[in-house]
Copies of this chain bind each other. A is one copy, B any other.
């Protein structure tokens, strides 16, 4: 906020302004960019030239406008300019996704795997997925600029450290360093983040949250987490622990939760709670959770009374949680992801009713409940978006990451 501006910083800032403008608004002429950003035309021309040299923008036909005069050449983000790689570790699966600056998915990878097999075994498999993505990008001629790993737990993003993932049974695992060593591409940065945060980032950039400044992405994976987007930015809290949606108290004297407290939302609307209420096997979850989830959804779709009632009750508690978050944060919308999206048709009516009943009259019409537009790959896709952020934030970096183009994979 209080950072001073100087000439070089101004140019570095403005080159990012232009790239983000085109990435966010789509192909347009230099004149249109100048008009919309308030930068003058000669500055925009010079910045666009720099971005074309960096391989991040390309010229593409002319702009059709109603104005007289010479039609301007349109510039667009260069699909081949840079790719980000997102990976996801979950209790039952590993996933990979690579996208370019235009949001096009260039690669997808998936493997059913038990995340609870321990960090060594899981990170070995994750590195195989990462290297497959790198090979695919190499074949497509798109240079990777980074890898970001989505994990279901608390993270120290600065240190690349997974602090605690109860659903995996992992504690203090230096995921970023361990994966970077296994992938073995010097100069290619590896970062980690919470899966709900990355899913929210994907929804913000390419999914149901596009165009929203304030929303809460409530993500049902091993537990229930939330990615909180405020002012168009991911909000992580003072220590990176924000968005513990599943561990908000909704029933103070209620059931004991795995976290040690009582009456957390997860004890009422977590996947295991819903499965148990519907009379499905509880057991170990993990790789089997997907099958049991599909079975629950099918039973509810078929009108099975026990399944429908269980989801209605779960939706009621979810609505209490949404109302609490709405009272504090006043978002434009909630986006449900993971198993919550899968079960949304059966959860949302009761959740919505409870949400409206608990809001002040003036607020009641406001936050909608949307389902994820990106489905189960949201978190990995958010990882790709995060990896690409480096270049959008500071396009000059694209010139420095070409080391990754040359490394054999």
Docked complex Cα distance between A261 and B6 (Å): 53
Q: Within A71-118, which residues are at the interface with B (CB < 8 Å)?
A: none
Q: A39 — which chain B residues lie within 8 A by C-beta?
A: 4, 6
> Which of these, B232, B242, B361, contacts A260 with CB under 8 Å?
B361
Q: Within A190-249, which residues are at the interface with B (CB < 8 Å)?
A: 213-214, 226, 228, 230, 232-233, 235-245, 247-249
Q: A233 — which chain B residues lie within 8 A by C-beta?
A: 1
Q: Kindly state whether residue A312 has any CB partner on chain B within 8 Å.
A: no
B244 in contact with A327 (CB, 8 Å): yes
Q: Kindly state whether residue A362 has any CB partner on chain B within 8 Å.
A: yes
B360 in contact with A241 (CB, 8 Å): yes
Residue of B nearest to A34 (CB): B4
For the complex with contacts A164-B360, A239-B366, A244-B328, 6 further pairs of A-B residues with Cβ separation under 8 Å are: A214-B238, A226-B328, A244-B327, A245-B328, A248-B327, A251-B252
Q: Within A34-55, which residues are at the interface with B (CB < 8 Å)?
A: 37-40
Q: Kindly state whether residue A63 has any CB partner on chain B within 8 Å.
A: no
Q: A329 — which chain B residues lie within 8 A by C-beta?
A: 228, 235, 237, 242, 328
Docked complex Cα distance between A278 and B37 (Å): 60
A238 in contact with B332 (CB, 8 Å): yes
Distance (whole angstroms) from the CB of A11 to the closest CB of chain B? 9
> Which of these, B259, B328, B362, B366, contacts A164 with CB under 8 Å?
B362
Known pairs A328-B242, A366-B238; A250 contacts B248 (CB<8 A): no
> Which of these, B163, B252, B362, contacts A250 with CB under 8 Å?
B252
Q: Kindly state whether residue A154 has any CB partner on chain B within 8 Å.
A: yes
> Which of these, B2, B214, B238, B327, contacts A21 with CB under 8 Å?
B2
Pick from A38, A40, A249, A331 the residue with the most CB of B within 10 Å. A249
Distance (whole angstroms) from the CB of A163 to the closest CB of chain B? 6
Q: Within A364-386, which residues are at the interface with B (CB < 8 Å)?
A: 366-367
Distance (whole angstroms) from the CB of A101 to the closest CB of chain B? 15
Q: Kindly state whether residue A330 has any CB partner on chain B within 8 Å.
A: yes
Q: Kindly state whether residue A10 has any CB partner on chain B within 8 Å.
A: yes
B228 in contact with A328 (CB, 8 Å): yes
Q: Within A339-381, which residues are at the interface with B (CB < 8 Å)?
A: 357-363, 366-367
Distance (whole angstroms) from the CB of A164 to the closest CB of chain B? 5
B330 in contact with A240 (CB, 8 Å): yes
A5 in contact with B14 (CB, 8 Å): yes
Total residues of chain A contacting the partner, CB 8 A: 67
Docked complex Cα distance between A260 and B363 (Å): 13
Distance (whole angstroms) from the CB of A35 to the closest CB of chain B? 12
Docked complex Cα distance between A106 and B242 (Å): 39
Q: A244 — which chain B residues lie within 8 A by C-beta?
A: 327-328, 330, 360, 363
Q: Kindly state whether residue A324 has any CB partner on chain B within 8 Å.
A: yes
Docked complex Cα distance between A80 and B130 (Å): 63
Q: A40 — which chain B residues lie within 8 A by C-beta?
A: 6
B4 in contact with A17 (CB, 8 Å): yes
Q: A359 — which chain B residues lie within 8 A by C-beta?
A: 261
B4 in contact with A38 (CB, 8 Å): yes
B245 in contact with A4 (CB, 8 Å): no
> Which of these, B20, B213, B252, contacts A320 with CB under 8 Å?
B252
Docked complex Cα distance between A112 and B296 (Å): 61
B2 in contact with A20 (CB, 8 Å): yes
Contact with B along A316-340 (1 / 0, CB 8 A): 0000100111011111100000000
Residue of B nearest to A330 (CB): B237
Known pairs A241-B330, A328-B242, A331-B238; A164 contacts B5 (CB<8 A): no
Q: Kindly state whether residue A13 has any CB partner on chain B within 8 Å.
A: yes
Contact with B along A1-39 (1 / 0, CB 8 A): 111111000100110010011001000000000000111
B38 in contact with A17 (CB, 8 Å): no
A327 in contact with B6 (CB, 8 Å): no
